[in-house]
Amino acid sequence: MYIHLYKWGLLLGLLLGQVAALFAQTDENFARAERAYGFFIAEQGDSIHAMLTAELQQKLSPQVFAGMMGQMERQVGKLQSRAEWKKDRAQGITIYYCDLTFERYRLRFLTSFDVDGGMNTIRLAPISEPSTAAPVVYDKQKMTEREITVGVPHFPLPGTLTLPLGQPPHPVVILVHGSGANDRDETLGPNKPFRDLAWELAKRGIATIRYEKRAKVYGAALPEGRELDYDTEAVDDVLTAIELAKQLPEIAPDSIYVAGHSLGAVVAPRIAERAPAGDLAGIILIAGTPRPLEELVVEQSVYLASLTDSSAATREQLATLKREAENTKLLGTPRFNDTIPLLLGQPRSYWLFINRYKPLEVARKLTLPILILQGERDYQVTMQDYGLWRFVLIRNKNVSFKSYPKLNHLLQEGTGKSTPFEYNHASPVPGYVTDDLTTFIRTLRLID
């Protein structure tokens, strides 16, 4: 259903939004949110305007807020009920919200406040439909798990081997994490997508290996004589997992696959390139970008800022980030300015590696089967990235593609714009994703 929320949702959502600065929120903001809601119901635009931050009061006139409740009820019917107030927090942003049921639609009333209590968010947003994905549960009648260890010398990583209870040997999928100090389940909030995939694949007769990422266990420590790059962050450890899989009696040595998520998908072509010939049966790229990381850092920051106010501080932070990103691209060239900090505070070795590594070019030269999966609601790695993979690799007969309209970066179902707040709510990986992985592993192709 399409309703005209431009005056409300778009204008206020983009001009006010959720502030991105880190600050301590108190429960006094619940009272502020209730007061703002009361002004909205009573159509007291002047009072709403008076609650705004000083900067937003200068940008917006009280007339912007006039007659909003009446306009909304003309579109979606009379207000029927209001749910209790709740709050949610992600990436330093806290929102206070309540759900409203109108005659023909349900909407969420959102507010947020700065450290001084000034309101920087007031908007209505559609309420996402609940996920249709069934809960993922461990079924001891269909699978078993045991502890394993992978990793390079002096950096052992605890992991889990999940095996189907059917007759071995089984195909196996090695799960490769995204950026950051991830655990073996790639836990984010209440969500454990790698555990979901492991258990669902086991029900379909496919084993998995998942393990704690090196940064999770050892922090910034590196093997002697090595520097931080994609190899020391991820690739080297995956190669040891491949070697382990070849030695396990329950695993079919000619059916070893690597499935990378986010950064894991970015490095999957390099893993295939470095693995001994014949060791891998195929690779799976889930929400991976073919573009340089610095481009995504800026793009994600701009997107999150579109959910926040356009304050001078926010604009200056984005400008600084863009300068650092542009300069980081020039690392190793005469145009590089060593007075500008490298992006994200990562060392030169990391960015030099990224500048040299071209995942699209590596993938184009591979002959083993490749599956590329993408959530269409993903704001971290977008359909633009998926389009680039397709544009370059569509003629490669070994490559299959699939995108999912409802999924975000974490493979959670939802509707509308994806935001970081979705990650705070439990939503399992839908079974149709695991079905597609199974089809690819069994047939080496997938029809989009």
pLDDT in tens, 156-181: 999 999 999 999 999 999 999 999 99
Q: Which CATH class is domain 6-126?
A: alpha beta
Dihedrals phi, psi of 411, to nearest 5 degrees: 65, 35
Give dist(CA 125, CA 110) in Å, integer.
Answer: 8
pLDDT (tens digit, 9 = 90+) per residue, 361-370? Answer: 999 999 999 9
pLDDT (tens digit, 9 = 90+) per residue, 75-132? Answer: 889 999 999 999 988 777 889 999 999 998 888 999 999 888 999 888 888 787 778 8
Angle at 176 between CA 277 and CA 437, to 5 degrees: 80
Give dist(CA 227, CA 219) in Å, integer.
Answer: 13
> For 131, which DSSP code?
P
pLDDT (tens digit, 9 = 90+) per residue, 270-312? Answer: 999 999 999 999 999 999 999 999 999 999 999 887 775 556 7
Name which of 19-33, 74-88, 382-396 the model is least confident about: 19-33
Alpha-helical segments (H) within 8-83 = 11-15, 28-41, 45-51, 54-59, 68-76
What does the DSSP assignment read for 221-245?
A: ---TT---SHIIIIIHHHHHHHHHH
pLDDT at 308: 59
Q: Is the pLDDT of residue 26 over 80?
A: no
Give dist(CA 11, CA 48) in Å, integer.
Answer: 15
Domain boundaries, the chain: 6-126, 143-287+358-443, 293-348
Closest alpha carbon to 222 in 211, 234, 239, 212: 234
143-287+358-443 and 6-126 share a CATH fold: no
Closest alpha carbon to 141 in 174, 164, 172, 118: 164
Encode burial over 319-352: b for 16+ CB neighbours within 10 A, e otherwise: eebbebbebbbebeeeeeeeeeebbeeeeeebbe
Please, which residues have CB within 8 angstroms of residue 448's CB and are 6 or more apart in sequence? 400, 401, 402, 403
Strands (E) in 132-250, as ranges, are 143-150, 157-164, 170-176, 207-211
> For 188, which DSSP code?
B
Percent helix / strand / coil, the chain, rounded to 5: 40, 20, 40
pLDDT at 93: 81
High-pLDDT (> 90) share of the chain, % = 75
Closest alpha carbon to 108 in 127, 122, 94: 127
Q: Is the pLDDT of residue 410 over 60?
A: yes
High-pLDDT (> 70) share of the chain, % = 93
- Mean local confidence (pLDDT), 298-327: 84
pLDDT at 2: 33
- In CATH terms, 143-287+358-443 corresponds, of 3.40.50.2300, 3.40.50.300, 2.30.40.10, 3.40.50.1820, to 3.40.50.1820
pLDDT at 16: 33
Q: Which of residues 416 and 343 earns the better pLDDT score? A: 343
Give dist(CA 286, CA 176) in Å, integer.
Answer: 10
- Mean local confidence (pLDDT), 406-432: 92
Name which of 64-73, 270-279, 333-342, 390-399 the model is least confident about: 64-73
Q: Is the pLDDT of residue 207 over 60?
A: yes
pLDDT (tens digit, 9 = 90+) per residue, 391-405? Answer: 999 999 999 999 999
Q: What is the mean pLDDT of the chain?
A: 90
